[in-house]
Amino acid sequence: MKLVFASNNKNKIQEIQALVPNTIQIVSLEEIGCFEDIPETAVTIEGNAILKANYVTEKYGYDCFADDTGLEVKALNGAPGVYSARYAGEQKDANDNMDKLLFKLKDKTNRKANFKTVIALNLKGKQNLFSGIIHGKIIEEKIGTNGFGYDPIFVADGYNKTFAELSMEEKSTISHRGIAVKQLIEYFIKNNV
């Protein structure tokens, strides 16, 4: 079965394709001819996932799923949250975002944070939501070269390496996205998709 993933982020697509059964082929937005930036104007992570999934289903007619992810930092009242990708500006540069976050946390002792992913699945006229949260902390400098986004400054509870120091396989077994995708896969299995 082919299923559209409402993203052109090659890192995300690769991460999710590695998690889903071989019977499901992930198709990117580019592959269905969608090159526009889908508006992410909701005030919640759930809302943005729903907006993206509905956009593809309504405009292109495909069953699909979309995710939205945010990093929520306790000392910053949940920021950057829904604005995680564009925290330091519309250029959506990961290094700029991390630099801004590290600057904002410079004098803070509470560095607790969590990543949250919500997946909205539009399949056969129904919508389902799946979510995953991983708790951890923001360290004081970037370490590691794997992953993307805030991975070089996030260490999950119970670990002593950043997400960027873990292999894709290691990260996928514990990450927020991995947790949400596992729920998605369980749904597929339960419903014989």
Sign of the CA dihedral with 106 first, then 107, 111, and 117 last:
negative
Q: What is the mean pLDDT of residues 60-85?
A: 95
Return the ∠ at Cα 59 (arms to 53 and 64), rounded to 5°. 30
**Cβ atoms of 154 and 113 closer than 8 Å:** yes
| Per-residue confidence band for 95, with pLDDT thresholds at 50, 70 and 90 | very high
Q: What is the torsion angle, in degrees rounded to the nearest 10, for the CA atoms of residue 86, residue 89, residue 94 and residue 98?
A: -100
pLDDT at 61 over 80: yes
Counting the structural domains of the chain, the total is 1
Neighbouring residues of 110: CB distance < 8 A, sequence distance ≥ 6: 74, 75
67 catalytic? Reply is no
Record the pTM: 0.90
**Cβ atoms of 13 and 5 closer than 8 Å:** yes
Q: CATH number of the domain that 22 lies in?
A: 3.90.950.10
> What would the pLDDT profile of 102-147 be if each residue is shown by its tens digit?
999 999 999 999 999 999 999 999 999 999 999 999 999 999 999 8
Dig out the tokens for 96 from the structure.
């700029």
Range of the domain at 31: 2-190
Q: How far apart are the first and last CA of the chain?
A: 8
Above pLDDT 70, what percent of the chain? 100
Q: Report d(CA 134, CA 132) in Å as an integer.
A: 7
Catalytic residue among 68, 93, 96, 157: 68
Q: Give SS3 for 85.
A: helix
| Per-residue confidence band for 20, with pLDDT thresholds at 50, 70 and 90 | confident
> What would the pLDDT profile of 22-60 be if each residue is shown by its tens digit?
888 999 999 999 998 898 899 999 999 999 999 999 999
Rg of the chain over Cα atoms, rounded to whole angstroms, equals 16
